[in-house]
Structure 1
Amino acid sequence: MIIRFILSLGLALSLAATAPQTARADAGDFIGGAVVGGVLGYAIGQDQQKKKAQRTTRTTRTYRQTIPSTTQGAQTQTALNYFGYNAGRVDGQVGRGTRSAIERYQASMGYPINGYDFQPYQRDFLMQAYYWATSGGQATTQLTGQPLLMAYRQHLHSGSALAVAPQAPAAPAPAGTTPVATQPAPAPEPEANTTETASATLPSLFSGGTGGPSLANRCSGVMLQTSTNGGYTTLTNMSDPDFALSEQFCLARSYAMSRGEDLMQDIQGLTPDQVAAQCNSYGDMLAPQVVALSLSSKTDAETQMRKLALESGLSPEDLAATSKVCLAIGYREDNMDVAVGSALMLVAMGEPAYGELIGHHLREGFGVQERRDLALQWYDASLSALDAGSQAVFLPSQSDRPQLLRAAVTQAQ
């Protein structure tokens, strides 16, 4: 089942790609599937190529917009609409209506109001809240729109964990009272009165695939602190290297999720639920290698993963393409076996920049036992690979990001 999924996934991604790939790491994703797929893959690919050709022709004749449509724009519009900010039709084009919705979101959160300056931490918090809400938060709280978003923020402010043993929700806190929490809740921010209907506690909505702490919960808290700090840590203002690394961890996670969702749009013949189910099985297959990460050196862990890849009989290109999709699924579902295993497979298949993720997981103990000594091996190898010319896979437009990571790793030791 896993092999059939990997073949289908590699084929769908390979034959759906129409733009030339200039980077070797990306080009590999689109070669191997076409070689090993056989008749089924050819049929899937031909159908996808035909559809793309039709869309291209139709677009050439009718396109009148000057605003580009992007996946990130569509995701932002979806989340804004979900929480009641009314960005209009979800078309991926960030125009006047979307920017007005962003400004309403910024105002309700107490952010600087400028729809043309949608800071990454502001968008990341919005998307984290959306993933939480659609993964069970809305069903649990019975809230919708902005009250649901504010309930999520209040629980992060209060310090109460979202990833705890399931329990019945407590009665709603009376207006004007402080919800029960491990720390006092802060003073209300703009529109914070919408949280008065929130339950005092939320049951578990996130749990890692290995039964450990929730990375989704952790990153939501990091994004909230980043918001409080007024933006991301930079080389010039870094005072807490550990927090800087946590920020970069969560940024890389968000970037991996976004890229995987882009790839999933080109998968034909499998529904999103089928892809997720197959990725969960893929994580089960990789789980022993994930466990070994906390017990083995970087060299030994890579060697074992390459052995598993060789025994699978699949091409490195197919394994890499599959892992990029499953990396996104693992992070989206907070399944650390899937996420960490996929990152490790990508490193083993010749994409060392993904080793940064392994370093983050070992440093913070998500999905693996905390081993900061081993984390240094992964950080150093991934940063050295970037220095040697390897393609940056996370936030490639931020040219100073490797320097920030190296400085934070050095100071955090």
Structure 2
Amino acid sequence: MIIRFITTLGIALSLAITAPQVARADAGEILGGAVVGGVIGYAIGKEQGKKQSSRSTTTRTYRSGIPSTSQGAQTQTALNYFGYNAGRVDGQVGGGTRAAIERYQASMGYPVNGYDFPPYQSDFLNQAYYWATSGGQAATQLSGQPLLFAYRQQVHSGAALAAAPQPQAQAPAPITPVVTAQPETTPAEAPTETASTGSLPSLFAGGTARPSLANRCSAVMLQTSTNGGYTTLANMSDPDFALSEQFCLARSYAMARGEELIQDIQGLTPDQISTQCAAFGDTLSPQVVALSLSSKADAESQMRKFALDTGLSPADLSATSKVCLSLGYRQDNMDTAVGSALMLVALGEPAYGELVGHHLREGFGVQERQDLAMQWYDASLSALDAGSQAVFLPSQTDRPQLLRAAMVQAQ
């Protein structure tokens, strides 16, 4: 039933790619029809996107001598959203953007220097933007700087932030539903209306809410701001907090990378992409559950076999995973985020194993397993030592040493 639904959903979204041949129908139908065909609508991959980008940029006017970066564009977008007026979003951090940064710094009580925009200040701005555009603005009915200050106040007070709205699935093409017969309800079993006795309903009848990684990272960023910057090898006194900082920093980088890829997707709305990534997470949820029950070697082997059984190209699966990793974090959907990170490791990108280690250490999306977390940390750091490409803060050459020192001291 779910395979038919998701596959039909892919058709209803007018996905333009023909699903590749698959070795096993179950995994192939779900991933090929619903996710890869939809999310990676630019199937040739990022290289084609780069060519299109290089052609399109020839028609734009850029200020000479100032590089255009996706991080610059992200900063400008967030600054403009909160009313600091960075001007046109072109990715070039010039005088106008630096002046906007200074206005942001002054309003937040940071040292004012537009040429010095520390990561913790930038990360807090971007975290606030993700929160606001994922439901915070709708929940508070505020805008501009008051919305940013409301975010800071909620983080500071420890209040639960507004959850990102779940995307609504697009209506599938008409199909004959598979209906399971339900037993008839006898009068004794029929639900009765609650008598008007004045009793209040329990808001917690459904059990304890799942912890929010978005809330956790917002609190970490606030503490980092209070500390005056990120933990370094020289000043590390709390290895657990240092690991949490790096977790949230890696999460921010993963979201930014996915946003870049999403810009190249043609013919799909953001809600449609979100729907497809939610299906991706649902499909990978058994593999995510197994993370807390299996060694790293076994979990990775199982995911690699799963990926091979789909018959899909590693390039398509990798690109899909990076997009869905970003959206999983942005929407606090841990099945999607953790499953995507695990898929990337299985496809030969071991640096993403750091994320799996963080999740196992802190228990977000998986059962907390400190012992297994260390396996994932060690493997990802060993791969970096052996020359594997860094995907989080590649310019910070001492980051692996910081992670390893924190990992050893936290044991």
State whether TM-score is above 0.5. yes
Which of the residues 327, 330, 333 maps onto 2:331?
Answer: 333
Higher RCO (Cα < 8 Å, 6 or more apart): 2
Give the 3 Å change call, closer, same or farther, for CA 100–55 of structure 1 in structure 2.
Answer: same
Deviation at 1:56, TM superposition (A): 5.0
Two-structure CA RMSD over aligned residues (Å)? 2.2
1:55 maps to 56
Query: In 1, distance between residues paired with 2:244 and 2:287?
Result: 24
Contact kept? 1:363, 1:371, Cα under 8 Å: yes
The letter for the 2-side match of 1:86 is N
2:364 paired with 1:366: yes
**In structure 1, what is the equivalent of residue 178 of structure 2?**
none
Aligned residues: 339
Which residue number corresponds to residue 153 of structure 2? Answer: 154
Specify the alignment match of 1:380 in structure 2. 378
Taking a change above 3 Å as real, the CA distance of residues 54 and 163 of structure 1, as seen in their structure-2 partners, is closer
1:26-65 to structure 2, matched below 5 A, reads: 51-52=52-53, 54-58=55-59, 63-65=62-64
Q: Provide the residue aligned with 2:24 in structure 1.
A: none
Query: What is the match of residue 103 of structure 1?
Result: 102
Task: Give TM-score scaled by structure 2 length.
Answer: 0.78
Contact 1:260 1:327 (C-alpha < 8 Å) held by counterparts: yes
Mapping of 1:198-347 within 5 angstroms? 212-347=210-345
Distance 1:15 1:158 in 2: 43
Please say which of residues 248-257 and 67-76 is displaced more in the overlay.
67-76
> Secondary structure of the residue that 1:12 maps to in structure 2?
coil
**By how many angstroms is 1:11 displaced?**
6.2
* 3-state SS of paired residue (2:42): helix
Deviations 1:275-312 (A, max 9, x none): 22111100000000001111111111111111211221
Deviation digits for residues 184-208 of structure 1, max 9, x if unmatched?
xxxxxxxxxxxxxxxxxxxx9xxxx
Q: Using a 3 Å threshold, how does the CA distance of structure 1 residues 152 and 3 change in structure 2: closer, same or farther?
A: same
How far the C-alpha of 1:152 sits from its partner, in A, is 1.2
Q: Quote the offset at 1:96 in angstroms.
A: 1.0
Shift of 1:160: 2.6
Whether the 8 Å CA contact 1:125–1:223 is kept in 2: the answer is yes
Give TM-score, length-normalised by structure 1. Answer: 0.78
The SS at the match of 1:118 is: coil
Q: Is the 8 A contact 2:41 2:266 kept in 1?
A: no
Q: Distance in 2 between matches of 1:149 and 1:244?
A: 25
Mapping of 1:100-139 within 5 angstroms? 100-139=99-138
What is the identity, as a one-letter code, of the residue corresponding to 1:3? G
Separation in 1, partners of 2:221, 2:244: 10
Question: Which structure has the greater CA radius of gyration?
Answer: 2
Could you say which residue in structure 2 is the equivalent of 1:14? 44
- 1:3 maps to what in 2? 32
CA–CA distance in structure 1, aligned partners of residues 131 and 92 of structure 2: 25
